[in-house]
């Protein structure tokens, strides 16, 4: 019986080898096909990552100076904040905290929507980056340009920066009689023309939402955000609270940075004028 069992096992191995040899073998993959398959897999992984995990954004304004500079390119973690406040088990997720620098869709000016249309701003289409100041249910109040949360002075990340507005003394202009065929009298100097050509203009920011000395309660599911460069930032003081569903993620680090002034704002100039001291810097 033992010899018979060994004979059956030997026959089984021989049959398996014959079947394996008889299986048709397809033609070898071409180099083009291998590259195409590799590209397809990489593309799918990139789309998945950009949709659910990471996103790259650029910073066009100085509202977060000096924490984030104009010309910084940020990598945003879209996975860190738990959806609906419920973190998934065994995953490094948490809810939004005070001090987090978040990237979100612009919610629109709730106090005066006409200002958005006059400036060409489209709500829910533009990405903003600000620091979380007030959490849902908290009371936010401003006194003497300082922030109080639930009556307590907030230890801040505020940066004192130069405002875009020219606060120098006014220059006098010679008063002359207007000619009958003149519709307007325009006064300008070489300095003011350079000021306008550089893209700097005069603005009258009326912070209507957060009135100094008057407390505002952050609604449930919303956040109060501000720029670190407070005197040069349009934020929740100006257009209201940020709904949780508009938050994209948390700014992680600067993966590229360039001097926008030296690069003239174009892509090639940005590549050739990097700021190496900013690249790889974590945002906090």
Tell me the C-alpha distance between 273 and 55, whole Å: 23
Q: 254 near 76, Cβ under 8 Å?
A: no
Residue 228 scores a pLDDT above 60: yes
Q: 209 near 235, Cβ under 8 Å?
A: no
Position 32 scores a pLDDT of 63
Mean pLDDT on 36-58: 56
Strand-pair partners of 76: 55, 251
Tell me the C-alpha distance between 190 and 104, whole Å: 40
Residue 91 scores a pLDDT above 60: yes
Long-range Cβ contacts of 81-85 (<8 Å, 24+ apart): 81/247, 81/249, 81/250
Which residue shows structure tokens 């897999």?
Answer: 41
DSSP track, 30-43: PHHHHHHHHHHHHH
For 157-224, the three-class secondary structure string (H helix, E strand, C coil) is: CCCCCCCCCCCCCCCCCCCCCCCCCCCCCCCCCHHHHHHHHCCCCCCCCCCCCCCCCCCEECCCCEEE
Position 263 scores a pLDDT of 62
Higher-pLDDT residue of 100 and 14 is: 100
Mean pLDDT on 206-216: 65
With cut-offs at 50, 70 and 90, classify the pLDDT of residue 8: very low
Q: 149 near 236, Cβ under 8 Å?
A: no
Residue 75 scores a pLDDT above 60: yes
Residues 6 or more apart whose CB falls under 8 angstroms from that of 78 comprise: 52, 53, 54, 55, 248, 249
Tell me the C-alpha distance between 141 and 148, whole Å: 5
pTM of structure: 0.64
The per-residue pLDDT for range 238-272, each reduced to its tens digit, is 899 999 999 999 999 898 888 877 666 677 778 88
Higher-pLDDT residue of 65 and 262 is: 65
Q: Considering only 28-37, 104-113, 124-133, 190-199, which range has the smallest mean pLDDT?
A: 190-199
Higher-pLDDT residue of 151 and 117 is: 151
Hey, what are 174's tokens? 């010679």
Tell me the C-alpha distance between 195 and 205, whole Å: 19
The per-residue pLDDT for range 129-174, each reduced to its tens digit, is 999 999 999 999 988 878 999 999 988 766 554 444 433 333 333 4
| Architecture of the domain delimited by 33-282 | Ribbon (2.10)
Share of the chain above pLDDT 90, in %: 21
Residue 99 scores a pLDDT above 50: yes
DSSP track, 135-149: -TT-EEEEETTEEEE
Higher-pLDDT residue of 89 and 146 is: 146
Domains in the chain: boundaries:
33-282
């Amino acid at each position: 019986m033992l010899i018979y069992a060994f004979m059956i096992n030997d026959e089984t191995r021989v049959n398996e080898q014959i079947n394996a040899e008889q299986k048709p073998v397809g033609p070898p993959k071409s180099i083009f096909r291998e590259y195409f398959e590799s590209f397809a897999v990489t593309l799918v992984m990139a789309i998945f990552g950009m949709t659910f995990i990471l996103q790259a954004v650029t910073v066009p304004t100085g509202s977060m100076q000096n924490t984030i500079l104009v010309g910084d390119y940020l990598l945003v973690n879209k996975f860190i904040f738990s959806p609906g406040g419920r973190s998934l088990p065994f995953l490094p997720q948490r809810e939004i905290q005070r001090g987090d620098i978040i990237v979100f869709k612009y919610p629109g000016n709730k106090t005066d929507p006409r200002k958005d249309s006059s400036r060409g701003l489209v709500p829910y289409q533009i990405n903003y980056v600000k620091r979380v100041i007030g959490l849902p249910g908290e009371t936010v109040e401003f006194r003497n340009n300082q922030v109080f949360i639930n009556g307590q002075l907030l230890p801040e990340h505020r940066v004192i920066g130069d405002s875009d507005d020219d606060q120098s003394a006014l220059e006098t202009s010679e008063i002359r009689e207007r000619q009958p065929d003149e519709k307007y009298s325009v006064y300008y100097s070489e300095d003011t023309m350079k000021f306008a050509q550089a893209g700097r203009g005069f603005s009258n920011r009326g912070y209507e939402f957060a009135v100094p000395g008057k407390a505002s309660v952050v609604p449930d599911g919303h956040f109060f955000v501000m720029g670190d460069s407070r005197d040069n930032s349009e934020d929740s003081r100006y257009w209201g609270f940020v709904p949780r569903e508009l938050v994209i993620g948390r700014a992680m680090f600067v993966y590229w940075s360039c001097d926008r002034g030296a690069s003239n704002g174009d892509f090639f100039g940005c590549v050739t004028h990097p700021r190496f001291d900013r690249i790889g810097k974590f945002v906090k």
